[in-house]
Amino acid sequence: MPRTNRNMTEKITIQITRPMLADLQNVATKSGKPLAEIVRQAIRNALDDTDLTLGTKRRFDRRLQTRVDEMEQNLKQSLEQGLEQAEQQMAKRFQEELTKLEYRVNQDFDRSLSKFTKQVAQFIGQLTEQKSRRLF
**Which option is the CATH number for 11-49: 1.10.3470, 3.40.1350, 3.40.50, 1.10.1220?**
1.10.1220
- Which distant-in-sequence residues (6+ apart) come within 8 Å of 35 by Cβ? 24, 25, 28
Q: How far is CA 88 from CA 11, 43, 44, 70, 85, in A?
A: 68, 57, 54, 27, 5
pLDDT of residue 9: 87
pLDDT of residue 101: 96
**For residue 120, how many C-alpha atoms fall within 13 Å in the half-sphere facing its CB?**
6
pTM of the complete model beyond 0.85: no
Give the separation between CA 42 and CA 23, rounded to whole angstroms. Answer: 12
Give the separation between CA 78 and CA 69, rounded to whole angstroms. Answer: 14
Give pLDDT tens digits along the chain (136 positions). 455 566 888 899 999 999 999 999 999 999 999 999 999 998 888 877 776 666 566 667 777 888 999 999 999 999 999 999 999 999 999 999 999 999 999 999 999 999 999 999 999 999 988 888 877 6
The DSSP annotation for 69-118 comes to HHHHHHHHHHHHHHHHHHHHHHHHHHHHHHHHHHHHHHHHHHHHHHHHHH
Per domain, the residue ranges of the chain are: 11-49, 50-135
pLDDT of residue 1: 42
